[in-house]
Amino acid sequence: MSPSMDTAQGVYKRAGSIVTGIMGMGRVYLGASSVLVISVFALIISQFIFFTVSIDGTPTMLVENRGTAKKAIVLLLEKEEKRRGYPVYWQQVIEINPVWGNDGRRCYKSVENVAGVLRRKLQFVTDGVAVMVNKEEKLYMRNIEVARQSLGLIKDKFRPRGALKVSFEEDVQIVNKTVSVEQLVDRDNAIGILMTGVQKIENYEVEKGDTLWGIARREGQDIKELMDINKGVKPHLLQIGQKIMLNKQQPLLNVISSYETVELKDVPYTIVEAGRDPSLNYGEVKVIQQGVPGRMEITYRVVERNGQRIKKYPVHKTIKSDPRPQVIVTGSEMLMASRSGRTIYRPVVGTVSSNYGVRGGGMHSGIDFAADYGNPVVALAAGTVKFAGYRGGYGLAVDIDHGQGMITRYAHLSKAVVSTGQKVKGGQLIGRVGATGNTTGPHLHLEVRINGETRDPASLL
Ligand SMILES: [Zn+2]
């Protein structure tokens, strides 16, 4: 390094040390006797010597003397660090070289003015950090603490109560980086940038049936904003195929969080049929034991993306109480006999009051069952209703054809609930006990006919 040239090259971490380096240079030791002569000579010479301050090899200005430039550098650094509140430096190389004559160029004399020029020409940097999202530098911050704080606050915004995990969907890294002070963003701005992302304009081709409002709603756009970025588009005159712009703003970071929630659910009880109660009407059900639903505790895992639920699934189930079954008995289906593979139902609940056969000098063509008015009457077996209506002394009667020439007749009914042509099952309700026709009181008269001839129903029952 020549003594005639001061250089700040290679020193850029702390500009203060640059200056110290400069100060120490160009020192020349001279004999005491020659000091006066040399001094006078130097004074004369100095009128014609100027110094060029170059930044990265480009002459930037002319200064009167080396000291002015050095002081300006110190002053500038002090001011900048004080103003910003953190250490700054520059990576450009400043050189101060003597030149002969000023060629009419302006020569800076004041330290303040030199500092002012340097301030405009130098790019201040600092040891900061870059916030990387998916391996891309998205923004620059002062230090790792403030970057972490910003990221933490974003997570906090979407942190559910009792959060199990809160993380970013994206790969996020904070890396040390020498960053331009102009690019630094503070905590709140960083949060804003990371959460709202960057504006991304996309083209959209208008389709049949589209309205600007419809597009806005579907694409999650603000209608006012949509109209702002599509100046000249007349909302009422959209044409199919017309191109409009959509602002597809997407956050740079998405927060994925999960938590667990416990819900109590009923466990339905089962219905157990304990048996049949002949005192009940056909189809009637009597509850012997009221069923009680059980209780189950279900733990769900809920996953949210930016506070919006995206998943919910059960992770654990605990039975808190078992359900108590409902125990019932049912009436009807007065199954009496099963003969030759054929199931025969008792037609009514009641005792036989009059048998088939000769009775008081006459012929009783069926069996009478003493039964209360309104009691259910069911079909003995499956068949087709052949007749349902009034039939002389039988009163209101139902005839059921069981095939193979067999017909059963149910007489003196108060009500018939089937009609001609209807198919019935064995045990199915067909009517109600009554006292219609030739009778002195409510009872059921049951007749069995095979090929038109009456038979003793007792042979079937
Ligand atoms: Zn009778």
pLDDT of residue 385: 97
Angstrom distance (rounded) from CA 461 to CA 458: 5
DSSP per-residue letters across 303-320: EEETTEEEEEEEEEEEEE
Q: How far is the CA of 349 from the centre of ligand 1 (A)?
A: 16
**183-215 residue pLDDT tens:** 999 999 999 999 988 777 888 899 888 888 888
Contact 131, 140 (CB under 8 A): yes
pLDDT of residue 280: 61
Helix/strand/coil for 119: helix
Which is higher by pLDDT, 280 or 40?
A: 40
Q: How far is the CA of 227 from the centre of ligand 1 (A)?
A: 91
Contacts of 84 (CB under 8 A, 6+ apart): 126, 181
pLDDT of residue 123: 92
Q: How far is the CA of 15 from the centre of ligand 1 (A)?
A: 127
pLDDT at 333 over 50: no
Q: Terminal CA-to-CA distance of the chain, rounded, Å?
A: 131
Q: How far is the CA of 394 from the centre of ligand 1 (A)?
A: 8
Angstrom distance (rounded) from CA 91 to CA 77: 13
Q: How far is the CA of 460 from the centre of ligand 1 (A)?
A: 17
Q: How far is the CA of 446 from the centre of ligand 1 (A)?
A: 7
Which is higher by pLDDT, 96 or 336?
A: 96
Q: How far is the CA of 412 from the centre of ligand 1 (A)?
A: 9
**429-447 residue pLDDT tens:** 999 999 999 998 999 999 9
Which residues neighbour ligand 1 (ion) by CB within 5 Å?
368, 445
Angstrom distance (rounded) from CA 302 to CA 315: 10
pLDDT of residue 35: 65
The full set of domains in the chain, from first to last, is 6-122 (no CATH), 127-196 (no CATH), 201-247 (3.10.350.10), 258-330 (2.20.230.10), 335-459 (2.70.70.10)
Q: How far is the CA of 445 from the centre of ligand 1 (A)?
A: 4
Q: What is the pTM of this model?
A: 0.54
pLDDT of residue 331: 57
pLDDT of residue 343: 66
**42-76 residue pLDDT tens:** 677 667 789 999 999 999 999 988 999 999 999 99
The one-character DSSP state at 209 is T
Q: How far is the CA of 354 from the centre of ligand 1 (A)?
A: 7
Q: How far is the CA of 431 from the centre of ligand 1 (A)?
A: 17
Residue 232 tokens, joined: 């000249």
| pLDDT > 70 in the chain, percent | 85
